[in-house]
Every structure is written in structure tokens, then in C-alpha cells.
Amino acid sequence: MYCVFCQIIAGHLGAEIVLNEAHFMAFLDARPVFKGHVLLVPKAHVETLPDLPGELRDGFVDAAQRLSTAMVAGLGAEGSFVAINNTVSQSVPHLHQHVVPRTRGDGLRGFFWPRTKYDIGEAVGYADKLRSVLA
């Protein structure tokens, strides 16, 4: 299976790499939300967050934290937006975490998708379903 991110990791496709470690790589998104938008990926081909091996989880979060800090220290951002899509809206089927520099008044409003509301009592049912799986 052809994977654009695996090709970048292997050095077969070019990208502006900002972090290159034993298990993870981060590079500038070719179509950034804002300049400095980075994609953090595991070097092993993992498609979604649930597929990420437990032994890589802490390192993945640590790298995301460092990238978020770099947005402020290196780019002068006031903060960052951090997001992962799993399958739906995942443009490349290789786990990638977006780390996007943010400043107040940058024009990005909330999430990228429309919001909804729960009907009366409906939230309890959704919470119960999630709690039962997590128990």
C-alpha cells in the first residue's frame, strides 16, 4: 500500500522536517491552516490512534507537547490547536496529529465542523454507552 507519510519518512518524498526522532517525525503540512502547521507522525505505519502501540503513546504525546511549546517559543504564537482525525476526515491513512499555531483573532472559530445539541435526557444515554465500554 502506498502511503505519502511513509514515503516522507523514508526520504523518498520531500518535506520540511521539524522533528526527527527514533519513533516519530514531524513536518510542515503542505496545506497549512496557518503557517507553521505541523503534522506529527509515528515512523511505523499506524493508521489511527487506537492502532498506536501502547509503548509509543507517551512518546507521541511528549512530542506533541514539545511541538505545542515550539509554536509559542519559536513562532510567537499565543497557543496551538492540536487534533487527530481517525478514519473520517483523515486525508492520509497514517496516524497524524495536527499542531497548529494560534493567535487571538486569527479567524479560526471553534471546531471545523458544525455543532449540535443533545435532546433532554439524551446526554445521559451517550455517556452511559461510553462508560460501559470504558469500564
114 — pLDDT class (breaks 50, 70, 90): low
Q: What is the mean pLDDT of residues 39-55?
A: 97
pLDDT(112) > 60 = yes
Burial class (CB in 10 A: 0-12, 13-18, 19+), 52: middle
pLDDT(111) > 70 = no
Domain 4-134: which CATH class? alpha beta
pLDDT(113) > 60 = no
Q: What is the mean pLDDT of residues 71-75?
A: 91
Residue whose grid cell is 492540536: 82
Compute the distance between CA of residue 1 and CA of residue 64 in angstroms, rounded to an integer: 27
pLDDT(97) > 90 = yes
Compute the distance between CA of residue 37 and CA of residue 98 in angstroms, rounded to an integer: 7
The better pLDDT of the pair 109, 85 is held by 85
Q: Report pLDDT for 130.
A: 76
109 — pLDDT class (breaks 50, 70, 90): confident
Domain extent listing, the chain: 4-134
